[in-house]
Amino acid sequence: MSFDSAVRVNSRVAVITDPSVVDTPGWKEAEIGSGNGYGNALSITTILSYISLDGEANGTIDLIFQEQSKGIDLVTGQSLRFGIGFELPGSDADLKWLPEERILNEA
């Protein structure tokens, strides 16, 4: 197996086989990018409600919609665009089916 193939395979293989690992102090204190966000349904709903209801948290919600990085993912080969914590759509990103503008449902 080539190095590139090995990286692609290994990046998609789950390394945690025991679900109780995520309830340990070590997991909760670790800094694993995109891997160990820890919360419950209420905390996640609260965070996402600021976005979906066009709210703000200390004036910072718009930052997640500002492009922070863009390019080809070296593992998946996909074109990706990211704000802060969220993948963004765009004509040159692989999320072409999403509209490029910020869209919120109005009540």
**pLDDT digit string, tens, across residues 72-97:** 888 778 888 888 878 888 777 777 77
Residue 4: predicted pLDDT? 66
Q: Which residue has the tokens 């492009």?
A: 67
Count of beta carbons in the 10 Å neighbourhood of residue 88: 20
pLDDT at 35 over 70: no
> 80 - beta bridge partners?
71
> 81 - beta bridge partners?
70
Residues 82 and 38: their CA atoms lie apart, in Å, by: 21
What is the mean pLDDT of the segment spanning 6-29? 75
Residue 106: predicted pLDDT? 43
Count of beta carbons in the 10 Å neighbourhood of residue 29: 9
**pLDDT digit string, tens, across residues 43-75:** 888 878 877 776 666 666 777 888 899 998 887
Residue 17: predicted pLDDT? 66
Residues 50 and 62: their CA atoms lie apart, in Å, by: 10
Confidence label for 107 from pLDDT (cuts 50, 70 and 90): very low
Please name the helix (run of DSSP H) or strand (run of DSSP E) that holds residue 41, with its range, or none: helix 41-52
Residue 24: predicted pLDDT? 86
Q: Which residues contact 83 (CB under 8 A, 6 or more apart)?
A: 63, 64, 65, 66, 67, 68
pTM here is 0.55
Residue 105: predicted pLDDT? 45
What does the block give as tokens for 4? 């590139």
